[in-house]
Structure 1
Amino acid sequence: MDKERELQEELVWNAGYRMNESLRMIKICLDQLSEEQLWGKPNESSNSIANLILHLCGNITQYGIASIQNLEDERIRDEEFSTDSGYSKAELVKKLENTISDAKRAFYDAPLNELLRKRNVQGFNFSGVGNIIHVTEHLSYHTGQIALWTKILQNKDLGFYGGVNLNAKNES
């Protein structure tokens, strides 16, 4: 395998791993919340967890799927935040799972020139690699918000890394 393809596969695998970790954590949070809590907002300037999931699906689709696959951008961002019902917890999980799966497939299938090509998304100019990084960090950012809101609602540790020694030292 040539070094370019090896680097691409390493990038895509690691982005996919991080996206799967965020999905795993979001599912742990949602398992602890009622349908009502999912749509509740802490205050008027904040979003519900359900809105954050809709927002993640919109963002991942725009940056990670449509842009990299050269598809039409059909995102209607404002609806991600104005929606206040219409999806059950199971439907939101499935929508997020499918969106993440489709994005990971788009990353893997993209030819190297698409990962290097610059394109404008939401007024920003990034390469396909830049979009992959954006999708990964944006998902992680909102996963943290979902985790915090869940901790506030449940007043308990979420156990994301139960059984893992997080004090283990680095090995060469």
Structure 2
Amino acid sequence: MDKEKELQEELVWNAGYRMNENLRMIKICFDQLSEEQVWQKPNNSCNSIANLILHLCGNITQYGIASIQNLEDERKRDEEFATESGYTKAELIKKLEDTVDEAKRAFYDAPLHELLRKRYVQGFNFSGVGNIIHVTEHLSYHTGQIALYTKMLNDQDLGFYSGVNLNVKNE
């Protein structure tokens, strides 16, 4: 295998791994929240967890699916934040799982030239690689917000790494 293909596969695998990890953490949060809590806003300046999930689905679709697969951008970003109901916890998680799975497929299926090609998304000029990095870090950013809000609501550890010794030193 040539080095370019090897690097491409390593990038895509690691992005997928990180996306799966964030999805795992969001599911742990959802298991600790009620249907009402996912739609609750901490204050008027913040979004609900449900709005963050809808926002993540829109962003991942725009950057990670439509852009990389050269599909029409049909995102309605304002609706992601204006929605106040209409989805259960299970429906929100399923929507996010399906979106993440579709994005990972788009990453894996993209030929190298698509990962290198520059394109404009939301007015920003990124390559496909740039879009993959954006999707991964954006998902992580909002996963942190969801985790913090869940901790604030329930005043308990989330147990993301229960049973894992995080003090093991690098080899």
The reply on whether 1:137 has 2:145 as its aligned counterpart is no
SS in 2 for 1:33: coil
Give ranges in structure 1 of 5+ residues lacking alignment: none
| Number of the residue aligned with 1:64 | 64
Residues 3-42 of structure 1 aligned to structure 2 (within 5 Å): 3-42=3-42
Note the alpha carbon deviations across 1:146-165, whole angstroms, 9 max, x for none.
00000000100000001111
| Number of the residue aligned with 1:55 | 55
Pairwise CA distance, 1:92: 0.3
The residue type paired with residue 121 of structure 1 is: V
Residues 70-85 of structure 1 aligned to structure 2 (within 5 Å): 70-85=70-85
SS in 2 for 1:30: helix
SS in 2 for 1:126: strand
The residue type paired with residue 140 of structure 1 is: S
| Number of the residue aligned with 2:127 | 127
SS in 2 for 1:16: helix
Pairwise CA distance, 1:37: 0.3
| Number of the residue aligned with 2:113 | 113
Distance in 2 (alpha carbons) for counterparts of 1:64 and 1:81:
20
User: TM-score under structure 2 normalisation?
Assistant: 0.99
Distance in 2 (alpha carbons) for counterparts of 1:3 and 1:133:
20
Count of aligned residue pairs for this structure pair:
171
The residue type paired with residue 55 of structure 2 is: H
The residue type paired with residue 94 of structure 1 is: K
Percent identity between the aligned chains?
85
Distance in 2 (alpha carbons) for counterparts of 1:107 and 1:9:
9
Distance in 1 (alpha carbons) for counterparts of 2:167 and 2:30:
27
Note the alpha carbon deviations across 1:66-97, whole angstroms, 9 max, x for none.
00000000000000000000000000000000
Distance in 2 (alpha carbons) for counterparts of 1:154 and 1:24:
18
Pairwise CA distance, 1:3: 1.1
Q: Which runs of 4+ in 1 moved over 4 A?
A: none
The residue type paired with residue 51 of structure 2 is: N
User: TM-score under structure 1 normalisation?
Assistant: 0.99
CA RMSD of aligned residues (A): 0.4
Pairwise CA distance, 1:2: 1.3
Distance in 1 (alpha carbons) for counterparts of 2:92 and 2:4:
36
SS in 2 for 1:125: strand
Distance in 1 (alpha carbons) for counterparts of 2:2 and 2:83:
47
